[in-house]
Amino acid sequence: MDQKVFLKFSSITLVLIGLILLIAPSEWFPNFYNPVFMSVIALISPILIYLPKFILTRSSPQKRKLILEMRSIIAFALLVNFAGELGLFQLYRYGFEYDKFAHFIVCMAFAFILGESLREWEHLHAKKLVLIVFLIVFGSGIVWEIFEASSDFLFKTQEWGVYGEHLVLDSYKDLLFNSLGGIAGIIVFKIPKKTHLKTKPPQKGTVLSH
């Protein structure tokens, strides 16, 4: 699917989910839903998808391409999370922790695009760049856990832990999968760079073999 089409699809899907959750009677939904909270998050999510377009400079084709990829990853992450909120998180009852899969795959994608973006905008040294990417991914995971705990306290949701249970153990596991995803994203980010460095154009006067 074309990235621009995917972005439109994601935004429309999230708005529709938000409207259904907001308008439909609460008895339509499973007891683990928090329709009002979920609808508000869904309705403001498209703003997050378009945010990079307005806060980052687009002075080159490469930067415009990265902004598009960044927005696509944000949209992907939001859809992955909402798929969990709508029911896939319940798969833990059958032995598959979709929540941990979401933490891993989203952090992997963010680590990759963050590395690409910092290299393009900030021109950081490779080792410093990798360290910053990992620290941002790990730090973001801690912030997310605080957000979930705050949500449970303020809005009486059950976001933190496993629907409000096993809080400490689940948080440790979330941070572990965040870190593994971040490392995987960094590895994927570094592969093209290494390949690029090893591939040098032929010098003048060099005879190419066939």
The per-residue pLDDT for range 50-104, each reduced to its tens digit, is 888 888 777 788 888 999 999 999 999 999 999 988 889 888 888 889 999 999 9
Q: For residues 181 and 196, which has the higher predicted lDDT (pLDDT)?
A: 181
pLDDT at 208: 44
Residue 156, phi-psi category: left (phi > 0), alpha (psi -120 to 50), beta (remainder)? left
pLDDT at 196: 44
The per-residue pLDDT for range 125-182, each reduced to its tens digit, is 778 889 999 999 999 888 988 887 787 677 666 666 666 666 678 788 889 999 999 9
pLDDT at 160: 60
Distance of CA 84 to the CA centre of its chain: 13
Global pTM reads 0.81
What are the tokens at 17? 């989910």
Alpha carbon distance 83, 77 (integer Å): 10
